[in-house]
Amino acid sequence: MTSLNFSRLTMIMTMSLFVLIIVGSANAQLSTSFYSSSCPKLSSTVQSTMQSAISKEARIGASILRLFFHDCFVNGCDGSILLDDTSNFTGEKNAFPNRNSARGFEVIDNIKTAVENICPGVVSCADILAIAAADSVAILGGPSWNVKLGRRDAKTASQSAANTAIPAPTSNLSTLTSMFSAVGLSSKDLVTLSGAHTIGQARCTNFRARIYNETNIDASFASTRQSNCPSTSGSGDNNLAPLDLQTPTSFDNNYFKNLVQNKGLLHSDQQLFNGGSTNSIVSGYSTNPTSFSSDFAAAMIKMGDITPLTGSNGEIRKNCRKTN
């Protein structure tokens, strides 16, 4: 081997090692102990504030969990959904998937205030949202998991990205699968994370077409939902119905039992059990709540890893609604 080729090989190997180190360090920056010394009371502070909010309104737990989903699916888990519109950019709050439905921002504000009181300028809004979502699930009876932390906050937001990246309630299975795949989540993750619909409510406008037009729906269930959701668009659009008919404020596996009985409220829900590739996963969760709980915790950790801002990227916002 000539000295020139040897030098080139050495350079390539060095660059490859450098890339591996950079990639490895970027992934390693999220850690369950990230704030253990800089903000040791973080976990208890978020939990107590979240517990208080859910005690006042059980539905808010589902709303916070949904905020985390909608944050992570748009350019990663970076707290961008929390930003208000400014003269410089149009944020995500009024994107079609969030308009008139994304809620819980005041709860995140309250948590941020409480956290700033004990360790100012240390904890990102993105991490606060991730912890609050996990606490919501645990408080409502679902699984617990150690949340990986170390995210930093985005300095901007994208309404256009929110309009295209967040799965719609009218989506078919193929669309859902490809949208989850686009952020590194499998079809199993799709089914598992859709189990979040065991809590919370949906607006009439999002399930009207299903309860009046679709055939893969239990007749009595459709009739029940029609009683509070008129067929005419514009009438009762914001009337609410529970995503899980039986226990809408308890995190359990009834969502999957409903799907097996063709009682999914949203078109996108019932698509998971409609003769397709995900039927077996739904069936399994409908009879094995322990499996669903453990898989949900793992899938939430995986979703929380979607392209976070770390290191010197982004910032630590003082106010979750605006950049510093």
- Residue 89 in contact with residue 157, Cβ under 8 Å? yes
Q: Is 310 annotated as a binding residue?
A: no
Buried (b) or exposed (e) across 300-313, using 16+ Cβ within 10 A? Answer: bbbbbbbebbbeee
Q: Is 74 annotated as a binding residue?
A: yes
Residue 162's SS3 state is helix
Q: Is 237 annotated as a binding residue?
A: no
Q: Is 109 annotated as a binding residue?
A: no
Beta strands of 247-309 (E only): which ranges?
A: none
Q: Is 267 annotated as a binding residue?
A: no
Q: Is 244 annotated as a binding residue?
A: yes
- 267 in catalytic set: no
How many Å apart are CA 160 and CA 143, to the nearest integer? Answer: 34
260 CB neighbour count, 10 Å cutoff: 15
How many Å apart are CA 143 and CA 199, to the nearest integer? Answer: 13
Instruction: Report the Cα 126 to chain-centroid distance in Å.
Output: 12
Q: Is 232 annotated as a binding residue?
A: no
Instruction: Report the Cα 53 to chain-centroid distance in Å.
Output: 19
Q: Is 198 annotated as a binding residue?
A: yes
Residue 315's SS3 state is strand
Q: Which helix (H) or strand (E) holds 28?
A: helix 3-28
- Residue 68 in contact with residue 77, Cβ under 8 Å? yes
Q: Is 80 annotated as a binding residue?
A: yes
Q: How many helices (H) and strands (E) does the chain have?
A: 14, 2
Residue 314's SS3 state is coil
Q: Is 197 annotated as a binding residue?
A: yes
The string of DSSP letters for 79-137 reads SGGGPPP-SS---STTSTTTTTT---HHHHHHHHHHHHHHSTTTS-HHHHHHHHHHHHH
Q: Which is catalytic among the residues 29, 53, 69, 70?
A: 70
Q: Is 314 annotated as a binding residue?
A: no
Q: Is 97 annotated as a binding residue?
A: no
* C-alpha torsion sign, points 20, 22, 23, 24: positive
The annotated binding site for substrate is made up of 167
The annotated binding site is made up of 71, 74, 76, 78, 80, 92, 167, 197-198, 244, 247, 252
The annotated binding site for Ca(2+) is made up of 71, 74, 76, 78, 80, 92, 198, 244, 247, 252
The annotated binding site for heme b is made up of 197
Hey, which residues are catalytic here? 70
